[in-house]
Chains A and B, each alone.
Chain A
């Protein structure tokens, strides 16, 4: 599904990603953890095509195609989705209208029949339940005046509506209350199947209790320095990141 080869990226001459390698197969859930400023959100932005960042080296393959130069909307239409760490508000634009436009642009790109407003509204009503949002939210402007947790729920609402192949969830768990964490995790679990892949960026392992990841990676200063299974997340939560850095120094010296 996704194959990242030796990816280097920078912003305004500042190197942030320094040789990322990662393969995500269909159905897999990968977790990326790492200290603040490590480059996790940058990786998500580069994957989804934010052009503020320059790719200096390396390749991103999505479904076997190099997408380094592909504009963000085409990547989205091909099935890439990011739940933003800080979702953006769009005052004046109705949430449901926005989501319908998004879905129909994607359907149009793929040559599928577009949905009309009535069918779409019906579909929305069931989906709202998965994320625990009231119906009034789809009639409000996109993320405008939403609380932190409501924004995150709205991101997941968009995910389950757009049905991407690859979902990159950037700290979707932060800002969610305890109940919401459970509801959202269940929503994501329901949405998982053998074809859909996930990259989950998080600082905590609490969501992983629900989500059962296949791999956990640690990113420090723009590199993936360690990979393991779910137990690595627990270990990080107990011990922090410094031991990995030491381990890294030792391996590079030997």
Chain B
């Protein structure tokens, strides 16, 4: 019976599974050079960008789809996917955003109307393939901060895009990054000028709505010398029976003394209890600490998606630069996650910290894969890694693969890993004190994730905690 309680407790209801009914424009499924050109043309892109896409596409054709040992899913037919979907109406300002879409974001708890905007948070809302609204844009611009959709940035700041696009994740990087480079539709762009501390949280909210589409966004974030920015990313999708592909690329660039904090709460539709439907989340995220004393922190809470494959990474090029990775990943029912990070130490006195917390329940399978590389000239580099897994029930799994590659003898490395179970005895102990099984699981899981949650911006920490509780919630008693 405790087994049953545990299974019941982790049966989640996906709250964001509704579909928005709007008129939209969609390119028919299939991928070839004409489709790539069409996307570029629809977005009125300069010639060089179209060429860049085509180069990526041609390279992609030569690549083979990766095959990950611990992840199982049927082969994706890339010709059955539509590579562009957009709400039909063209927009000039927030007031023109389709009321259906506004409603959608309201339901998701992300109000876009001026009067209701989230205090202290500027939002770029990406609906299917396009950015539909960016809040507080003008306020930010007064301080020289550029925060807009990727498409707008291509029109308004082509020199910045040309300078930085693909410099952290080259088009040849991996199968999905190449595909993204060829067909990416929109995303967010952000530039914080020298010495500016961004006064509010910047945030992108991704929503997949259309069926049979892939979502391929591109996020590019540049913090110039001495700048600071904290960036949040959230995602949801409707409940559909077929799998949908999400293959994003995120590039972060931190110049001298700059600091970027990038937080993600990923809650794509995970599929149903039996593993039907759900998002394939294959994402390439990488940041470079280009200048001395720069810092990049990745914090992620991953509760959604049928399959997650992502390794937010840091290239620590500048001397004294710092890379951090804080992660909570939850896999329930039939979800699979293969996630972790790469820390590449190039500069001297560089430091990295990895804290990874994996929670597996139901039949969930989770793999932590981390690489720490200390290059030959990276004198006095330091890394601290801690990978903890917790298992709820006995049908799930957790696997840890830390790769360590040290080519400099002055490096200091520390690695810790633990695996524990939420056992029947722990639950009974809590029950005996008057705490229900549901609350007990939430309490234990929250305790387990504390170190990561404290890295999230306040509002997000509360949100993330709730999200975990919902994801583990069931029909007990």
Contact = CB atoms under 8 A, between A and B. Distances in A.
Interface of A: 48-52, 71-73, 76-77, 81-82, 84, 87-88, 90-94, 97-99, 101-103, 105-106, 109, 141, 158, 162
A241 B2 CA distance: 36
A88 B426 contact: yes
B477 A71 contact: yes
Given A51-B1, A93-B447, A141-B447, A162 B434 contact: yes
A84 B420 contact: no
A94 B477 CA distance: 26
Contacts of A158: 433
Contact of A50 (B426, B428, B430, B434): B428
B431 A52 contact: no
Given A48-B432, A90-B429, A105-B436, 15 more contacts: A52-B424, A71-B431, A73-B430, A73-B437, A88-B425, A88-B429, A91-B420, A101-B439, A102-B435, A103-B434, A105-B435, A105-B439, A109-B434, A158-B433, A162-B433
B424 A90 contact: no
B426 A102 contact: no
Given A93-B444, A141-B447, A105 B434 contact: yes
A109 B432 CA distance: 14
B434 A106 contact: yes
B433 A102 contact: yes
B448 interface: yes
Contacts of B434: 73, 76-77, 102-103, 105-106, 109, 162
Contacts of B450: 92
B437 to A, nearest CB: 8
B63 to A, nearest CB: 42
Given A52-B424, A90-B426, A72 B444 contact: no
A72 B432 CA distance: 6
Given A73-B434, A90-B429, A101 B2 contact: no
Contact of B428 (A72, A77, A103, A162): A72
Contacts of B428: 50, 72, 88
Contacts of B430: 73, 90, 98, 102
A52 B427 CA distance: 12
A76 B433 contact: yes
Contacts of A101: 435, 439, 443
B439 A82 contact: no
A91 B437 CA distance: 17
Contacts of B420: 91
A72 B1 CA distance: 13
- Tell me which of A76, A92, A94 has the highest count of chain B C-beta atoms within 10 A of its own C-beta: A92
Given A90-B444, A90-B447, A73 B436 contact: yes
B5 to A, nearest CB: 9
A17 B428 CA distance: 20
Interface of B: 1-2, 420, 424-426, 428-437, 439, 443-444, 447-448, 450, 477
Contacts of B432: 48-49, 72-73, 76, 81-82, 84
A140 to B, nearest CB: 12
B431 A73 contact: yes
A171 B450 CA distance: 34
Contacts of B424: 52
A106 to B, nearest CB: 4
A44 to B, nearest CB: 10
Contacts of A90: 426, 429-430, 444, 447
Contacts of A97: 443
A77 to B, nearest CB: 5
Contacts of A52: 2, 424
B444 A92 contact: yes
10 contacts: A73-B430, A73-B435, A88-B429, A90-B430, A92-B447, A92-B448, A92-B450, A98-B433, A105-B435, A141-B447
Contact of A51 (B2, B425, B435): B2
A49 B420 CA distance: 25
B431 A49 contact: yes
Contacts of B425: 88
B436 to A, nearest CB: 5
A142 B443 CA distance: 12
A121 B432 CA distance: 22
- Tell me which of B425, B432, B435, B437 has the highest count of chain A C-beta atoms within 10 A of its own C-beta: B432
Contacts of B444: 90, 92-93
Contacts of A88: 425-426, 428-429
Contacts of A73: 430-432, 434-437
A103 B435 CA distance: 9
9 smallest A-B Cβ distances: which pairs? Answer: A92-B447, A102-B433, A72-B431, A76-B434, A93-B447, A106-B434, A88-B429, A105-B434, A73-B431
Contacts of B443: 93, 97-98, 101
A84 B433 CA distance: 11
Nearest to B443: A93
Nearest to A87: B429
Contacts of B2: 51-52
Contacts of B429: 84, 87-88, 90
B136 to A, nearest CB: 35
Contacts of A87: 429
A141 B448 CA distance: 11
Contacts of A106: 434
A30 to B, nearest CB: 19
A87 B430 CA distance: 11
A191 to B, nearest CB: 17
Nearest to A75: B432
A82 B431 CA distance: 11
Contacts of A82: 432
Nearest to B429: A88
Contacts of B436: 73, 105
A48 B434 CA distance: 11
B187 to A, nearest CB: 36
Given A51-B2, A52-B2, A101-B439, A94 B447 contact: yes
B434 to A, nearest CB: 4
